[in-house]
Amino acid sequence: MELTPEMNEALEKASRIVAGSRHVVALVGAGMSAESGIPTYRGPGGLWTRIGEPDPRRYQNFAADPKGWWERTLERDSQAPESPDQAQFRQSMLDARPNPGHYALVELERMGKLKWIITQNVDNLHREAGTRNITEIHGNRMLLRCMRCNFRIPRVEFDIDPHNLPPRCPQCGGIIKGDGVMFGEPIPSDSLNKCVEQANLCDCMMVLGTSGTVYPAAGFPIHAMQRGARLIEVNPYPTPISDTVDVALRGPTGELLPRIVARVREMGKT
């Protein structure tokens, strides 16, 4: 993208904030995944916009009958997706790869600037890119999780016996479910506690590709700001916090984050 003088000035300011911070945290939303080809859930063209949102009682249904839920899930997974839209969405997840924005965050972490990522995305792309310090507040589609102790294990490493359902945790014997947070399901306590901890620790929060409307994640930037942290927003579109951030950069994270990283690296040499 071609940078205007105003954009260059904003990039310089954002880079100086990052370079001068001791504990940067990134809050990442669906916009970064969309740049890797994964459709959003809400908004124009979103999956739920086209086919409707999932049953709001989904978690309650699972908790009431986990054996039946697993039976239906295994049967569904052995068949074709229910609609072309769902098939396209699943394929986009399988085909997606990290984009330059993901790799820029990895570089910031390796430089010692980025201390933690809080992501609302379940696609595993941050881990694939090489991120080490991360909380996936809505879960990870590649993992399973124990409802009792929050033990997580990759799906590919856990054998599910269709004749012995629901699957049980090898650590505590609790019921296993997918790590993705269902409608109506509380955010896992370990994830929520880590997010609050990082919002308390950060002196700079980068708010990347998120609409700022889904809670509790939407509350973390406000909490951080009230504690004195600087806020940097990178998003093609204005959001509810745009008027309160220190710097608002209008554009894709995949194009703007690498520029910030390059400038922070140069500042570190002087």
Q: Phi and psi for 2 in degrees, rounded to 5?
A: -80, 130
Q: Which residues are catalytic?
A: 138
Residue 137 carries which DSSP code? T
Residue 244 confidence (pLDDT): 95
CATH topology of domain 5-38+97-139+187-269: Rossmann fold (3.40.50)
Task: Please name the residue that has the structure tokens 């009792």.
Answer: 148
Q: Are 32 and 212 in contact (CB under 8 A)?
A: no
User: How far is residue 89's CA from residue 51's CA, in Å, rounded to a whole number?
Assistant: 11
User: How far is residue 48's CA from residue 235's CA, in Å, rounded to a whole number?
Assistant: 21
Residue 213 confidence (pLDDT): 85
User: How far is residue 151's CA from residue 143's CA, in Å, rounded to a whole number?
Assistant: 10
User: How far is residue 106's CA from residue 23's CA, in Å, rounded to a whole number?
Assistant: 15
CATH 3.40.50.1220 domain span(s) along the chain: 5-38+97-139+187-269
In the numeric block, which tokens belong to residue 255? 């194009």
**Alpha helices (H) in 42-158, listed in sequence order:** 47-51, 58-64, 66-77, 84-95, 100-110, 125-129
Element (H, E) at 198: helix 189-201
Please report, in tens digits, the pLDDT of each residue of the chain (270 residues total). Answer: 788 999 999 999 999 999 999 999 999 999 999 999 998 766 555 555 555 566 778 899 999 999 999 999 898 877 755 667 667 777 888 889 999 999 999 999 999 999 999 999 999 999 999 999 999 999 999 999 999 999 999 999 999 999 999 999 999 999 999 999 998 999 999 999 999 999 999 999 999 999 888 899 999 999 999 999 999 999 999 999 999 999 999 999 999 999 999 999 999 876
The residue count for the chain: 270
Residue 142 confidence (pLDDT): 96
Q: Are 180 and 140 in contact (CB under 8 A)?
A: yes
User: How far is residue 254's CA from residue 38's CA, in Å, rounded to a whole number?
Assistant: 14
